[in-house]
Amino acid sequence: MKKIPHDELLEILEEYSYKYNNPSFIANDPISIPHCFEQLQDREIMGFIAATLAWGQRPVTIRNCYWLIEQMESQPYQFILAHTEKELIRFNSFVHRTFQSDDLLAFLKFFQAHYSNHYSLETAFKPNAEAKDWDMYKAISHFHNYFFSQTDAEPRTKKHVATPIRGSACKRVNMFLRWMVRKDAYGVDFGQWNSINPADLLCPLDLHVSRTARELGLLTAKQDNWKATLELTENLKLFDALDPVKYDFALFGLSHSKMLGQWG
């Protein structure tokens, strides 16, 4: 594959970021779920659940999330704080691929434990807002350990809360962090968290993004793991060091574009 000149690649990335980072993108993406709400905690709860369930067909993820919202009476935060054990029975039939009712109940118990003592889920990723040496490896690793310290989840639930300690690319967690941290004027990402710098975010890496990144010469790693996530993000910083993850929109868009493959 021939190498794409830096300026040409920048133009491509900027074009497709602009094309997909706009409100028309929201409706058919899992980010539409937290966009159903105005309250921060509702967005966090349903945003994290939607990101966790975001694999497979997007319409299925969105439909299952709407079902969960309905079961929580359209008030996830209030339901988390005030539900009774009897009310949890309504979730016993929930299944999304390998994510089952036991996993969902562990998530709900975690949220209840956390929000009983904290205003926002942000502190679950960065307990000390002033910490200067806090990177995404530390943030996501801390969140994973903290999550399972707050709930008696079955061991199988651990596969649904990724950690870089195991080498995972942590795609869904990084996507959720993008939603909550990135700030711009286009109205897709929320940008409501302030203790994490957008420049420190990592690009969510899935099969489609990694394939596109390799074709563009942005990724050489053979496996889609934590090291690949770091490599891709470092290469994206060559085009925008302050907001590298905005190019997640471009990589997503290019993976669905007829243009992909013309550089081979």
Residues 25-38 have pLDDT tens digits of 999 999 999 999 99
> What is the sign of the dihedral through the CA atoms of 87, 93, 96 and 97?
positive
Which pTM value belongs to this model?
A: 0.95
Q: State the pLDDT confidence band at 2, using cuts at 50, 70 and 90.
A: low
- Mean residue pLDDT across the chain: 94
Residue 261: predicted pLDDT: 44
Residue 262: predicted pLDDT: 46
Residue 264: predicted pLDDT: 37
Q: State the pLDDT confidence band at 263, using cuts at 50, 70 and 90.
A: very low
Distance from C-alpha of 4 to C-alpha of 109, rounded to nearest angstrom: 49
* 229 touches 202 (CB < 8 A): yes
Per the model's pLDDT, the better-predicted residue between 132 and 248 turns out to be 248
Residue 26: predicted pLDDT: 96
Q: State the pLDDT confidence band at 153, using cuts at 50, 70 and 90.
A: confident
Distance from C-alpha of 259 to C-alpha of 13, rounded to nearest angstrom: 12
The conformation of residue 187, written as its DSSP 8-state character, comes to: S
Residue 256: predicted pLDDT: 79
Residue 1: predicted pLDDT: 52
Q: State the pLDDT confidence band at 11, using cuts at 50, 70 and 90.
A: very high
The residue-averaged pLDDT of 243-262 equals 81
Distance from C-alpha of 2 to C-alpha of 138, rounded to nearest angstrom: 37
* 54 touches 175 (CB < 8 A): yes
